[in-house]
Structure 1
Amino acid sequence: MQTFNSNANLSAVSDALQSIQSDVVMHDVPALNGARYRHRQLVEEKVKIVQSNISHGGFSSAIWRLPTEILTEIFLYCIPEDGNWTPAPYLAPMLLTTVCQRWREVAVNMPSLWRRLRLEAGHGDWQQRAYRYDSCLKRSRGRQLSLTLECHNNDWTELRSLLQPYVDQILSLSLGFFTGAGSLVVADFRGLDELVIYTDGSDPILSVTHSIAQLPSSMRSLKLMDLWFNLKLLSGFNPLAWASLTNLEIVVDGLDSFPCLLRLCPNLSSLTMIGIFTAIETSEPLTHANLQSLRISGDLHLDSIGSLGLFDAIALPDLRALEVRNIGQWPHEEFKAFLTRSQCHLGSLIFGGGVMITNQQLAEYVTLFPSLELVADPMRSTFYF
């Protein structure tokens, strides 16, 4: 292995520069004319520039000598910790491949740098972007992928075609349905574990409904943002369509969606439900054996009077944590009957803003569950996806 004595090299160059400066001074005379004086200035400026380059060269040399393991850790800090990034030549990690040959080799051979991507279709030069996207996807080298896909027209064909060779690598997927976006069959992503769907404020509910009509059996988590689901829409799904889900975050129009969701997702362990809640008629008795965490937030501007019927006929024997906000008058007696019916071991009970409950009622829950973590905080007003 060839080695270099950087200090010796720098010393030699520095001596040479000092010699140049001395030579300029020795040949100087007291009565310099304008041309000779300007010549001296230029030589000295050149010396300073070269010295500056030497100094930076030493720094570059130190960077160059960093072990690959350390360089890879530095590269990982160059990309966002959360969320997926857009492949662009002026952003890391693509930017890292343009610095020098060694950096390019290190970056290109780091699959972890190329696992989280944000891809867009429906505007601009698709061929150019597709080439860039595919280059990044290839560098993932079979690793699991987290992707954000945004469709700005009514056709997902371009993105579907691009992703076909990588479809089994996709573990996490965020889909942006914008105005006019068509449906995308989520079931085609056979290895998918987590799905998030969001919109640009439009209402592509039918496209989204068709897209999630059947989820892959591997999928565990579904978050539906900016979309309102009612009982009619939810009842239209195949009874086994969401059977694999263990976590669901959803906005609903009507509390009657709650029993429907429990039936649709028999393996659900965590449910966050936001929406407009009005009193529902007592439904048929329903026991959900797996739900452990339930978070509910109603409409901030809705003053509910009396019982909503939320806990009338439901039993949740495995419930461990409950958080409620903005549902008006708390159905204390109904909830106690629910606890007796469920025989659950509640560990956490949180009442946020917009819930009317008395101190005496709170004390009763502590009596029922001595180790209960009980919080009553009116500043907790709503959930945000």
Structure 2
Amino acid sequence: MQKSNSNVDSPVSATIGEPQKPLNEMIVRKNSGLEKVRKGVSYRQRPLVEERANIVQSNTSPKASRPVWRPPTEILSEVFIYCLPKDEYLSPTPQVAPLLLTTICRRWREVAVGLPSLWCRLQMKAEHDNWKKRALCYNLWLKRSGGCPLSLRLECHTNWSELQSLLQPYIQQISSLKLDFFACDGPFMMEGFHALKELTIHKYGFDHTSAIDHSLSKLPVNLRHLNMTTLLYSRKDLDFFSDSAWARLTHVEINVNGLDAFPRILHLCPNLSSAVMIGILDPIKTPEPVTHVNLQSLRMSGDVFLSSAGALGLFDVLTLPNLRVVEARNIGPWPHEEFKEFLIRSECPLESLIFGNAVHSTYQQREQYAALIPTLELSVEPDSNFDMHEFLEDLGSEADSTDQQQEDYVTLVPSVEFIIEPDSDFDIQFLL
């Protein structure tokens, strides 16, 4: 009897080499396997899997008029693809696809193991315990990917060296990579990841950024998308990186400590076409005019309680002649005059201007933008005219709110829920 040391393969290893079972018993087993698959898929996938599973089941049921029909590999493969969870990364869990598909019968196992597209997404963890067992499972999974592009999420709670050593044979396959830094002893080395196009770096409960900065200091040559929204960078922090390391990036998502960081990003990334900037949007302190001819999309979201009363200074230093989309959220008063002068100076073909929640602009201001760019599409969320500072002042100075005042607040913020205690309308003047 053939045996396997892999925990992944163990559920079916006992079936290899066994005597041939009666036909009816095999059919019952396959049908029970179909039920497992049906229960293991998500709600959205279920109709598609049901349709294809019914085809398989109807053709494997005993019929006196014809022999049992085995579905072609192509049909099973299509069913298996729909069985995969919608999660961005998959964990080696026996109860869900693709591992579940290898436990039904020998035929299903052969098809699943031989279908590389089932094994292209994986979440891997480097922890202090059970590493040998994990490594065996991860290696087997990656082998089954058959040279297809890989999308991986790596979690490190110790040292990156073990994970990097395991990945070395597959390094040319990795096209998308998410690094989750927990408590790490050293940097993740980016050398050799020539196929990598998307990189996301997250930091959790880990104060020292030297390991992360080292990972970002030499980016792969084909990398285009960089997401580091859980890291906080000031202008001074970004001076650590060389221009050549970031010059090929076309999309950046970053958490900034002050708007002075953004002109530096534009200098680092001359080919940048879209940028997402969140964080502390303190006004520009050292004006540094910058012209960037490739940026087409700018999305920004800050902290409304740290807003600068409409004077960001950002649009005073920027000239973006190719800008097409601007989206702003949570920045308080909108810098109207500053932005209007920016539009005139840039002469950009702006197509979409989106004011999200907690962006305070007026109808008259938006009319001026439409006059400057007649083809501009303006999108304003219901509470974008709402002034949080004025609202808080009102709450502090008007303990005795009237029905009309409460209605005004509901109009400004439709989702607000008012709780009025019985004596909140009590007028002390009446008592006196």
TM value normalised by structure 2:
0.72
Pick closer, same or farther for the CA change 1:287–1:55 going to 2, 3 Å.
closer
Q: Which residue of 1 aligns with 2:219?
A: 215
Asked if 1 retains the 8 angstrom alpha-carbon contact of 2:179 and 2:201, the reply is yes
CA-to-aligned-CA distance 1:55-106 (integer Å, 9 cap, x gap): 8479568357222212111111222223111123343212211221111110
CA contact (8 A) 1:282 1:312 kept: no
Report the secondary structure of 1:186's partner residue: coil
- Alignment-derived partner of residue 304 in structure 2: 300
Q: After superposition, where does 1:81-230 map in structure 2 within 5 Å?
A: 81-153=86-158, 155-230=159-234
Q: Which residue in 1 is equivalent to 2:421?
A: none
Distance 1:342 1:107 in 2: 55
Contact kept? 2:85, 2:97, Cα under 8 Å: no
Specify the SS of the correspondent of 1:284: coil
Question: For 2:101, what is the secondary structure of its paired residue?
Answer: helix
Residue 83 of structure 2 is matched in structure 1 by 78
Q: Is the 8 A contact 1:298 1:326 kept in 2?
A: yes
Secondary structure in 2 matching 1:77:
helix
Supply the AA of the counterpart residue of 1:124.
D
User: Identical aligned pairs, as a percentage?
Assistant: 53
Amino acid at match of 1:213: S
SS of the residue corresponding to residue 83 of structure 1 reads: coil
Measured in 1, the distance between the counterparts of 2:277 and 2:139 equals 38
Partner of 1:26: none
Residue by residue over 1:240-294, the C-alpha shift from the partner in whole angstroms, topping out at 9 and shown as x without a partner, is 1111111111111111001001001111101000011222235232100100000
Q: Does 1:318 align with 2:322?
A: yes
CA deviation vs aligned residue, 1:121-168 (integer Å, no higher than 9, x gap): 123211121111111111111111001111111x11111111101101
Distance in 2 of aligned mates of 1:55 and 1:129: 34
Instruction: State yes or no: 1:273 paired with 2:277.
Output: yes
1:378 deviates by 4.7
Matched-pair contact (CA < 8 Å) for 2:358–2:383: no
Match of residue 347 from structure 2: 343
User: Any conservation in 2 of the 1:177–1:204 contact (CA below 8 Å)?
Assistant: no
TM-score, normalization by structure 1: 0.81
Aligned residue for 1:84, secondary structure, equals coil
Aligned position for 2:261: 257
Report the counterpart of residue 250 of structure 2 in structure 1: 246
Paired with 2:144 and 2:344, the residues of 1 have a C-alpha distance of 56
Partner of 1:289: 293
Counterpart Cα distance in 1 of 2:30 and 2:199: 49
Give the partner amino acid of 1:322: V
Q: Give how far 1:328 is off.
A: 2.2
| Structure 2 segments unaligned to the other structure (5+ residues) | 1-21, 32-56, 61-68, 387-432
How many Å apart are 1:313 and its aligned residue?
1.9
Letter of the structure 2 residue corresponding to residue 301 of structure 1: F
SS in structure 2 of the partner of residue 261 of structure 1: helix
Does the Cα contact within 8 Å between 2:124 and 2:154 map onto a contact in 1?
yes
The 3-state SS of whatever aligns with 2:186 is coil
Contact 2:282–2:307 (Cα < 8 Å) also in 1: no
Cα pair distance change 1:357/1:379, threshold 3 Å: closer
Q: Provide the rounded CA distance (Å) in 1 between the counterparts of 2:288 and 2:307.
A: 26
Whether 1:62 aligns to 2:59 is yes
What are the ranges of 5 or more consecutive residues in structure 1 without an aligned counterpart?
1-49
Separation in structure 2 between the aligned mates of residue 276 and residue 116 of structure 1, nearest angstrom: 34
CA distance in 2, matches of 1:212, 1:354: 33
CA separation in 1, counterparts of 2:79 and 2:253? 35
Q: Superposition RMSD on alpha carbons, in Å?
A: 2.2
- Indicate the SS of the match to 1:89: coil
| Separation (CA, whole Å) in 1 of partners of 2:353 and 2:147 | 43
Distance 1:57 1:93 in 2: 18
